[in-house]
Structure 1
Amino acid sequence: MIEVTDFQKIGVGLAGFGIAFLFLGVLLLFDAGLLALGNILFLSGLAFVIGFQRTLSFFFQRHKWKATTFFFVGMFVVLAGWPVVGMIVELYGMFLLFSGFLPVAVNFLRRVPVIGTFLNLPFISMMVTWIAGDSNSMV
């Protein structure tokens, strides 16, 4: 069994609060303060979970420069006071950063009892497969 350290537990909490603040910021009509706080908490949580060095190497890989640039420019645009534009740019960067992880996450979610049943419905299954870009999935 994999042992989870206290730093990783704190990181999961910080990342969870970051996602919650991002969701709340979008829900409250793109409140710039909540979005900025959510971004900071999410990044610090990621650093706690996988480590500072791995976080830096994840964001600053040569083939991920475009994605990292979009992500951080979006964060700065949110901080500059244009939260809608910043979140669109940031979401594009997040999609590019985590798109390699998306097929793995979709295949995992398809095996979860309630969510998997929903994701395997005919039209939804086609959409999820298209979004994930998973050509090897069992549709």
Structure 2
Amino acid sequence: MQPINILLVEDDKLDVIDIKRSLDKLNIFYKLTNARNGEEAITLLNEQINTGNEGLPDVMLIDINMPKVNGFEVLEYMHQKEELKQIKRFVLTTSGDRTDKITAEKLGVSGYIIKPLKLNSPSAMDAFNLMIDLLNFKKN
């Protein structure tokens, strides 16, 4: 069985730990790569595209407020790249701002998760259920 390949774009170390704990608690078999900012995420994605899409993530969890390149800029970049359109993207943010949600939806996100992460919130459950579905798909 192959793990779900997750790229977490998050600059807060405590949030990274929280995500790992949540994935473990739900028994999700995963490989997690952490990019500490949007610039690092775009570099990783470009490297994977340049190697024939080898290792592209199945799912990305993207913080909005980060140094260097923010989450919206990462989503905009992904929106423009045909090779990246199949990646499921979820925003992780402390912002409940309606404008941010609309912007994220226009950029093709699969979900919008408000931090701190609560496993029983509808948005987090949607994200984790999708990951479980991906894991089941990879089994077959």
TM-score, normalising length: structure 2:
0.31
* Greater fraction strand: 2
TM-score, normalising length: structure 1:
0.31
Higher relative contact order (CA 8 A, sep 6+): 2
* Greater fraction helix: 1
